[in-house]
Amino acid sequence: MPELVVGRTRIPYLVRRSRQTRRLRLVVTPDRVEVVVPEGQTKDVVADFVRRRREWIYTEQERLRAREARQQGVGPVRMVTGAKIPYRGRMMRLRVTRRGATDDDAGSAVAVAYRNGFCVTADAEEGDAALRAAVEAWLKDRVKRDVRALVGRHAPRLGVTPKAVRVMELRRIWGSCGQGGVLHFNWKLIFAPKAVLEYAVVHELAHLRHRDHTPTFWRTVGALVGDYELRREWLAKKEDLLDWSGGDPRTQE
């Protein structure tokens, strides 16, 4: 496997040839560097492409590794009593109760409730994956309700009506306002304080009136969220912590 040398650091990289790609492209993760190469491209061209981007490769991989290390403390390694789950800017305690084989409970295999912490009741045979999926589903449902309530509160004040509001998995962004007036929000905003979620909602609602980030746009945001700069700063500084698992690979062409 070829290597890239940056100072005293050796970074091996994989070359993957693809008939679908037309340009050289880098894919960087915390533990892997891949170069996607069009069919027929020479080794010398590939090596020169990697060499010219060596600083970006090194910096991005170090950043992703640091982010991964920080994220290890965000979501629980094991879904057991005493583990901590991020919720609205705080780490909340998890309590797991197991049903015995003779328990007469007609409920779901995994039930989630919130009472000053997460209370999960599960059948004895349910593993971590099932518990984690149930908590994630609860968090997604909670943030959907929060977003809809905030849109219902602030949209009339701005005199706007979004065509639709969707909460989903978004890559590298916290929200967007589509050309058709459809608002999208990243469900992982549930890990931020509710004031930060409110800022994200107001931000996208304001885009229904102003498509860019002009001073007029920010005055519109500030009219509803006076301390929006503090909330925006919190999100910018803590975004690596607002994650439930892993980081996305970074690419460059």
Report the pLDDT averaged over residues 241-252: 55
Whole-number percent of the chain with pLDDT over 90: 56
The strand pair at 90-99 and 110-114 is best described as unpaired
| pLDDT > 90? residue 160 | yes
Report the pLDDT averaged over residues 153-162: 96
State the pLDDT at residue 179: 81
CATH numbers and ranges of domains, the chain: 3-70 (no CATH), 84-135 (no CATH), 137-241 (3.30.2010.10)
Q: ∠ CA 88-89-93 to the nearest 5 degrees? A: 80
pTM: 0.67
State the pLDDT at residue 209: 95
Report the b/e string of 185-195 with b at 16+ CB within 10 A.
Answer: bbbbbbbbbee
- For 212-246, write each residue's pLDDT tens digit: 999 999 999 999 999 999 999 988 887 666 666 54
Range of 24-33, 103-112, 198-207, 237-246 with top mean pLDDT:
198-207
Short-list 74, 77, 89, CA closest to 189: 89
DSSP result, the chain: --EEEETTEEEE-EEEEESS-SS-EEEEETTEEEEEEETT--HHHHHHHHHHTHHHHHHHHHHHHHHHHHHTTTS-SS-STT-EEEETTEEEEEEEEEEPTT----S-SEEEEESSSEEEEEETT--HHHHHHHHHHHHHHHHHHHHHHHHHHHHHHHT---SEEEEE--SS-SEEE-TTSEEEEEGGGGGS-HHHHHHHHHHHHHTTT-SS--HHHHHHHHHH-TTHHHHHHHHHHHGGGS-SS----EEE-
State the pLDDT at residue 247: 46
State the pLDDT at residue 75: 61
* Residues 166, 35: Cα–Cα separation, whole Å: 34
* Residues 169, 217: Cα–Cα separation, whole Å: 26
Report the pLDDT averaged over residues 139-145: 97
In contact, 11 and 61? CB cutoff 8 Å = yes
102 vs 173: which has the higher pLDDT: 173
DSSP result, 49-106: HHHHTHHHHHHHHHHHHHHHHHHTTTS-SS-STT-EEEETTEEEEEEEEEEPTT----
State the pLDDT at residue 76: 65
Report the pLDDT averaged over residues 40-51: 92
| pLDDT > 80? residue 67 | no
Report the pLDDT averaged over residues 143-148: 97
Q: How confident is the model at residue 3 (pLDDT cuts 50, 70, 90)?
A: confident
